[in-house]
Amino acid sequence: MSTYRASPFSVSKTFEFGALPPASAPSEMSIAQLPTGATYRSASFGYRGGSLLEPREFSMTATLIKHPKGDLLIDAGFGRDIAQHLAKLPLFFRLLTRYSLNKTAREQLQSSGYDLSRLRAVLLTHSHWDHISGAADFPEVPVWIPPAERSFVHGEDFTTASARSIKSLHFEEYRFDARPYLGFAESHDVYGDGTVVIVPAPGHTPGSVIVFVTLPDNKRYAFIGDLAWQLEGVTEQEERPLPQRLADAEPRLVRENLAHMAAISARYPEMTIVVAHDPRSFASIPTLVPKP
């Protein structure tokens, strides 16, 4: 067993994990990205130490996991009603947000000839506007969140005003088992084969999660949601600048989980860390191809 200690910010914790957990991925399992749009900011917005003069594209991407036991969308990106969802947020945030739209996740699935009856759930890393908007386009599909995130959605926090405004959402809760996974005390194995494993990673929101995915060719991914906004958050262990940290429910837990993922990345460089808003982290995931 290896022990790793992080980080440049103050996290007085060690993380212990042994070999990568086993997974039995069926040969039919696959992955694809569905870019639904982007916002445009500077590197300084995404991580402490980033340049104010360096423009960055913040991606809004859904990820399709195909599995014989039912498919998943990890996050849903921008939906067709994104303008209305953004309008639920404070004026200062709207004024700072310049965005562009691609086809929605549903439109991309339909263009590819995908059978929507295969879609088992939309699995959110958390419930903020830019992750949940596209879920409104799938009223027939449940949206999976843990109890802590559901309570957060139904509270009064301004960051979940968009989620509360979408009346078509059908939330389903899942719970974690006391089964450690890569140093996290609890986990939820979606299919029971180790291919999609969810762990709690509160901080950005009370019910934020990380989704670990293992493919038949043994490629491994960790979808960390908004634990970081750009890859440098993990590679350089740089948290968000102070003003942006106001978006975090518990900044201390964000630091702790960020240090944890940095340690995992150092121990297992073959694992791709997927930062929800950094298009560079999606580079190895094929884009869903429309039918000719």
Indicate which CATH number applies to the domain containing 271: 3.60.15.10
Residue 79 in domain: yes
Higher pLDDT, 236 or 83: 83
pLDDT tens digits along 220-229: 999 999 999 9
User: What's the mean pLDDT in 241-247?
Assistant: 72
Predicted pLDDT at 40 = 96
Spell out the residues 6+ positions from residue 27 whose beta carbon is closer than 8 angstroms to its own: 216
Does 255 reside within a domain? yes
In the predicted model, is pLDDT for residue 74 greater than 50? yes
- Identify the domain containing residue 109 by its residue range: 23-282
* Residue 82 counted as domain residue: yes
Give the pLDDT score at 15.
81
Number of domains in the chain: 1
The model's confidence at residue 245, banded by pLDDT at 50, 70 and 90, is: low
Within-domain flag for 289: no
In this prediction the pTM is: 0.94
State the average pLDDT over residues 35-51.
92
Residue 67 lies in a domain: yes
Residue carrying structure tokens 């009370």: 206
Any domain includes 222: yes
Model confidence over 188-219: pLDDT tens digits? 999 999 999 999 999 999 999 999 999 999 99
**Could you tell me if residue 2 is inside a domain?**
no
Q: Give the tens place of pLDDT for each residue, 97-131.
A: 999 999 999 999 999 999 999 999 999 999 999 99
Q: Which residue has the higher pLDDT, 142 or 7?
A: 142
Q: What is the mean pLDDT of residues 153-161?
A: 93
What does the pLDDT average to over 168-177? 97
pLDDT(9) > 70: no
* pLDDT at residue 6 is higher than 50: no
The verdict on residue 264 lying in a domain is yes
Q: Compare 13 and 168 and report the one with higher pLDDT.
A: 168
**Residue 149: its pLDDT value, please?**
98
pLDDT at 264 over 80: yes
